[in-house]
Amino acid sequence: MKRRLFAALLIGSAAGGVVRLAAQPSNEVSVAASKFEFTPETVKGKVGQPLTFVLTSFDRIHGFKMPEFGVRADIVPDQETRVTITPTQAGSFVFFCDIFCGDGHEEMSGTLVVEA
């Protein structure tokens, strides 16, 4: 609920601005990794809008990989790991754990939904 309000404020202030800065600030989304899921599992983005994943882990080291964007990172417990991408086309893109973390590892994935 809080997050939704914040997003609405951001959109409101962007629309009210007279000049748009050349470099768009990154939108940030917090994603928590744990055996064997990412929370939230679905993340939304927009074409041309940089998006920073702020990744944390509750239990052990996990991986974060998005092949379409050529990025990967280790998610280390008690650390914030930041991965920034800029979608260039609409669609659904998968991200997944690429460090074996146990029996459910193969299912540990999420989706970035990019809207035009």
Residue type at position 106: E
Does residue 101 interact with Cu ion by CB under 5 A? yes
Residue nearer to Cu ion on the CB measure, 93 or 95: 95
Residue nearer to Cu ion on the CB measure, 55 or 114: 55
| Strand ranges in 1-116 using DSSP code E only, listed in sequence order | 27-34, 37-39, 42-46, 51-57, 62-66, 71-75, 81-85, 91-96, 109-115
Interface residue with Cu ion among 52, 105, 109, 113 (CB under 5 A) is: 105
The residue range among 1-9, 73-81, 84-92, 106-114 that interacts with Cu ion, by the rule CB under 5 A, is 106-114
Does residue 65 interact with Cu ion by CB under 5 A? no
User: Cα separation of 51 and 22, whole Å?
Assistant: 16
User: Cα separation of 32 and 41, whole Å?
Assistant: 9
Does residue 31 interact with Cu ion by CB under 5 A? no
Number of residues that bind Cu ion (CB under 5 A): 4
